[in-house]
Amino acid sequence: MLSMMSSSRKSGAAFLVGLLLTMQGFFVVTFLVANAPLEKTMGAVQKIFYFHVPCAWLLMLSTFACAGGSLAYLFRGSERGDRLALSSAELGVLFGLCVMVTGPLWARAAWGVFWTWDVRLTSSLLLWLMLIAYGLARRYGGEGGRRLAAALALFAAADVPLVYLSVNVWRGLHPNTKTVSSLAPGMRWPFFLSLAIFSALWGVLLVLRMRVERTQARLVELAITVEDAEGRSP
Amino acid sequence: MGLTSDRVLRLVNVGKTFGRHRALADVSLAFVPGRVAAVLGPNGAGKSTLLGLLSTLSQPSQGRITLGDEELSRHSPLRATIGYVGHEPGVYGDLSARQNLRLFASLYGMASAERIDEMLARVGLDGVRREAAARTFSRGMLQRLALARALLHEPEILLFDEPGAALDPAGAAWLAGELQREREAGRLVVLVTHDLAAAAAIATHVVVLRRGRVARDEARASFSADEVRRIYEEATRGST
Amino acid sequence: MAAPSWACQAARIAWKDLHIEGRSREVVTTMGFMAALVVLVFSFAFISGQEVTVGPDVVAGILWVAVLFSGTVALSRTFDRERESEAIRSLLLSPAPRSAIYAGKLAATALIMFLVELLLTPLLAALFSAAITPHALWLGLLLLLGTIGFSSVGVLFSAALLRARSRDALLGALLFPIVIPVLLAASRATATLLDPTASDLEPALFWTRFLAALDVVFVVVGLWSFEPVVMGE
């Protein structure tokens, strides 16, 4: 009991440090992004890039985390895996929403249209839809909903390369493949820091969300134990 | 295939939880070949959950279930030694009685046409129109077909979930006779039922579940209807 | 008792479904009618005035959207006969490997869908005067590959939704996001094959190979995850 408490206190402390660093990071990144050099043709509009790309990366990360958790749940009955899958799917939907808002904003400023069937934007859209479907399966899938959602996550992960390849070939040309490596040196630092800080935020939120689920599971266990005790005494 | 197996079906501290509901807690039981065990209890006591676990189609949340020295699990080949008769017949309504048996026989790796004819004769379905779809059968005929399907592969363990629920008295009496016969053949029979009188007629082992726990576990050479009623009432007093 | 082989058990289960379908023709008729309706609805929507020709892109798109929508109808019925009177329990209790059950159901479903598509394609060709004859065999192969890719996911989801109340509404919603690459590959390849002016068939070849690879991936995931998905807790 005691060791359990101290280990949970230790992980709590680590979590707090992570949280503070993440909050700190957002101040720093905002400052850095504000001071990063302006892009020649796009000007200030290009700064959405520091926000948009990390979100898209996290959408992808969420899909794989969801599939990993689902794998553990499906084949080893791991409840923790199931909590990881659910939490990362929810985060994926959230960050996917950011991608879907910032993408069209950029497209409007850059090309004058809200939507282009750009390879990465389209692939992100499909990933996003799969994670939304994961949520639907869990909520409305009835008795087998959790297992159905887990299977969906496996297919989604298997789909990622297929989606990317097919959309890529479908759209033919893709002019900005090497955006990141062609970044001006002054933009590189703020970008990678932003990427790191967003990932940290994702991690913090993931831990929080998984804790909510675990606490709920414990509550249910407690309620069952209480019911049991009441049931046994005549 | 001889029926001389004397493997005991044993549950050790078995628990089962469904989300927010604990269906079974701390169940330890032993079912022995050559006995008919009647599992009784009020609605929601965990009877069907118990049968689901014994059939390997669901997994215990705690504890373990063994047949002899082998553990029953989702992948276990032991499922081929189980015959299950539920309240639903578990056959294809679009296929005839013979086609149903032929399909399941082939899945069990048996190709003998005589065995199928023998089973149909035994459950009294040999006179039925040969190509009539099972969907057109009466409730009683379906239950006969379900029994034939469950016995086809000579299972070691027979599980019954409320088999007499929709049968008329004559059908129920016939079923009781069949159960008796399987017990005498040395099979291990577990019967979940609400019908105390029917249980008394054939059971040599009575288990009463109450709120997911074993409230009574008693084996005798025979039980009278009054005894079963008394055991049931004592065990479930104050819980309805 | 000699245990029958995996393939033999899968074939028994597939044969059972085909046998039942052969007598009732329920799925073929409902799915076929639905597919024909989708094609007609598109015709009314796309054709205006005296102009009766649309490009091969559009014809290919219509064909595959019709396959997708009508196929979902068929897929949502796949496990109806197992649900009725709990035959699924008898099936899962039998010693047949669960992956063989999946393979059998998949084979039967895909075959029935493929049959409907073989009837649908000439109708489409007649309505839009599309040239299907130059590459008829290739087109057939595409239909088969696309159908396998689509139904490998669909059969698994349909089994998982066996006891869900809103299964018919859910199936399409869960299935379509996953099978977009199938639709993309199949309709691109079909468009190339239907285009009489296309001199270079390289894209069709690429997409056909892509579909074959995708089928392998999806069927493997399906075979592998069917047991844990379909078994209760």
Would the pLDDT of A154 be above 50? yes
Touching C (3+ Cβ pairs <8 A), the chains are: A, B
C225 touches chain A (CB under 8 A): yes
Q: Please compute, for residue B52, the number of CA atoms within 13 A of its CA located in the half-sphere on the CB side.
A: 17
- What is each CA distance from A158 to A231, B95, C86, C172, C214, in whole angstroms? 47, 38, 32, 19, 9
Q: Identify which of A29-43, A192-206, B134-148, C99-113 has the greatest average pLDDT.
A: C99-113
Residues of A in contact with C155 (CB under 8 A): none
Banded pLDDT at A180 (limits 50, 70, 90): low
Banded pLDDT at A212 (limits 50, 70, 90): very high
**Shortest Cα distance from C233 to chain B (angstroms)?**
6
Residues of B in contact with C90 (CB under 8 A): 84, 90-91, 104, 149
Measured between CB atoms, which of B75, B93, B108 is closest to C84?
A: B93
pLDDT reported for residue A74: 93
DSSP assignment string, B142-180: HHHHHHHHHHTT--SEEEEESTTTT--HHHHHHHHHHHH
Q: Does the distance separating the beta carbons of A126 and C164 come in below 8 Å?
A: no
C188 touches chain A (CB under 8 A): yes
The token duo for B180 is 């008796």
B20-43: pLDDT as tens digits: 788 898 999 999 998 899 999 888
The label of the residue with tokens 């309805």 reads B240
- Full strand arrangement of the beta sheet holding B205-210: B82-85, B157-161, B188-192, B36-40, B205-210, B213-219
A132 touches chain C (CB under 8 A): yes
Measured between CB atoms, which of C170, C178, C232 is closest to A141?
A: C170
SS3 assignment for chain C: CCCCCHHHHHHHHHHHHHHHHHHHCHHHHHHHHHHHHHHHHHHHHHCCCCCCCCCHHHHHHHHHHHHHHHHHHHHHHCCHHHHHHHHHHHHHHCCCCHHHHHHHHHHHHHHHHHHHHHHHHHHHHHHHCCCCCCCHHHHHHHHHHHHHHHHHHHHHHHHHCCCCCCHHHHHHHHHHHHHHHHHHHHHHHHHHHHCCCCCCCHHHHHHHHHHHHHHHHHHHHHHHHHHHHHCCC
**Shortest Cα distance from B17 to chain C (angstroms)?**
9
What average pLDDT score do residues C164-169 get? 85
Close Cβ partners of C82 (under 8 Å, ≥ 6 residues apart): C88, C91, C162
Would the pLDDT of A1 be above 50? no
pLDDT, one tens digit for every residue, chain B (240 residues): 445 567 899 999 999 988 778 889 899 999 999 889 999 988 888 999 999 999 998 889 899 999 988 898 888 888 999 999 988 889 999 999 999 999 999 999 887 888 898 899 888 888 767 678 898 998 888 988 999 999 999 999 999 998 777 777 888 888 888 888 888 888 999 999 888 888 888 889 999 998 888 988 988 888 888 888 899 888 888 654
What average pLDDT score do residues A4-9 get? 58
Banded pLDDT at C52 (limits 50, 70, 90): low
Torsion from C-alpha of B101, B106, B108, B110, nearest 10 degrees: 90
Chain C interface, best mutation among A73, A119, A140, by max C CB count within 10 A: A140
Chain B interface, best mutation among C8, C82, C94, C99, by max B CB count within 10 A: C94
A139 touches chain C (CB under 8 A): no
**Shortest Cα distance from C14 to chain B (angstroms)?**
11
With a pLDDT cut of 70, the percent of chain A lying above it is 88
Q: Strand B9-18 and strand B157-161: pairing? A: unpaired
pLDDT reported for residue C108: 96
pLDDT reported for residue A58: 95
Residues of C in contact with A156 (CB under 8 A): 177-178
Q: Please compute, for residue C138, the number of CA atoms within 13 A of its CA located in the half-sphere on the CB side.
A: 19
Chain C interface, best mutation among A82, A148, A170, by max C CB count within 10 A: A148
Banded pLDDT at A4 (limits 50, 70, 90): very low
Q: How far apart are CA A165 and CA B157, in angstroms?
A: 53
C42 touches chain A (CB under 8 A): no
The token duo for B55 is 């059939």
Domain spans, chain A: 48-174+186-232
Close Cβ partners of A220 (under 8 Å, ≥ 6 residues apart): B19, B20
Whether B213 and A224 have beta carbons less than 8 Å apart is answered as no
Better pLDDT: B225 or A126: A126
Better pLDDT: A2 or C81: C81
B88 touches chain C (CB under 8 A): yes
**Total number of residues shown for chain A:** 234
pLDDT reported for residue C2: 57
pLDDT reported for residue C209: 94
Domain spans, chain B: 9-236
What average pLDDT score do residues C162-170 get? 86
Banded pLDDT at C22 (limits 50, 70, 90): very high
Q: Strand B82-85 and strand B70-71: pairing? A: unpaired
pLDDT reported for residue A175: 45
Q: How far apart are CA C12 and CA B156, in angstroms?
A: 25
B20 touches chain C (CB under 8 A): no
Measured between CB atoms, which of C23, C90, C232 is closest to B104?
A: C90
SS3 (DSSP) at A94: helix
pLDDT reported for residue C144: 97
Would the pLDDT of A5 be above 50? no
The label of the residue with tokens 């043709």 reads A41
Q: What CATH number labels B9-236? A: 3.40.50.300
C7 touches chain B (CB under 8 A): no
C94 touches chain B (CB under 8 A): yes
| Range with lowest mean pLDDT among A95-109, A182-196, C108-122 | A182-196
pLDDT reported for residue A182: 61
The token duo for B85 is 């008769």
- Restricting to A residues 146-165, those with a Cβ less than 8 Å away from any Cβ of C are 147-148, 150-152, 154-156, 158-159, 162-163, 165
C-alpha of C107 from chain center: 10
Residues of A in contact with B17 (CB under 8 A): 224
- What is each CA distance from B37 to B47, B148, B213, C85, in whole angstroms? 12, 20, 16, 25
Position A106, amino acid: W
Chain A interface, best mutation among C89, C184, C200, C207, by max A CB count within 10 A: C184
pLDDT reported for residue A147: 93
Banded pLDDT at A213 (limits 50, 70, 90): very high
Position C183, amino acid: L
In this structure, the number of other CB atoms found within 10 A of the CB of residue A28 comes to 13
Residues of B in contact with A77 (CB under 8 A): 59
**Total number of residues shown for chain C:** 233
* Region of B211 on the Ramachandran plot (φ > 0 left; ψ -120 to 50 alpha; else beta): left
Whether C43 and C127 have beta carbons less than 8 Å apart is answered as yes
Q: How far apart are CA B89 and CA B141, in angstroms?
A: 10
What average pLDDT score do residues A200-219 get? 92
Would the pLDDT of A174 be above 60? no
Better pLDDT: A22 or C177: C177
SS3 (DSSP) at A162: helix
Q: How far apart are CA B67 and CA B31, in angstroms?
A: 9
**pTM for this prediction:** 0.91
pLDDT reported for residue A26: 78
Exposed / middle / buried, residue A65 (Cβ in 10 Å: 0-12, 13-18, 19+): buried
Q: Does the distance separating the beta carbons of C231 and B57 come in below 8 Å?
A: yes
A136-150: pLDDT as tens digits: 999 998 878 999 999
Beta bridge partners of B192: B39, B161
A74 touches chain C (CB under 8 A): yes
DSSP assignment string, A184-228: -HHHHHHHHHHHHHHHHHHHHHHHHHHHHHHHHHHHHHHHHHHHH
**Shortest Cα distance from A224 to chain B (angstroms)?**
7
* DSSP-derived secondary structure letter, B3: -
Q: Which residues of A touch B (CB under 8 A)?
A: 77, 220, 223-224, 227-228, 231-232, 234
Query: What does pLDDT average to over chain A?
Result: 84
Q: Does the distance separating the beta carbons of B22 and A224 come in below 8 Å?
A: yes
The token duo for B76 is 């276990």
- Restricting to C residues 128-187, those with a Cβ less than 8 Å away from any Cβ of A are 153, 156-157, 160-167, 170, 173-174, 177-178, 180-181, 184-185
* DSSP-derived secondary structure letter, B36: E
Measured between CB atoms, which of B20, B25, B59 is closest to A220?
A: B20
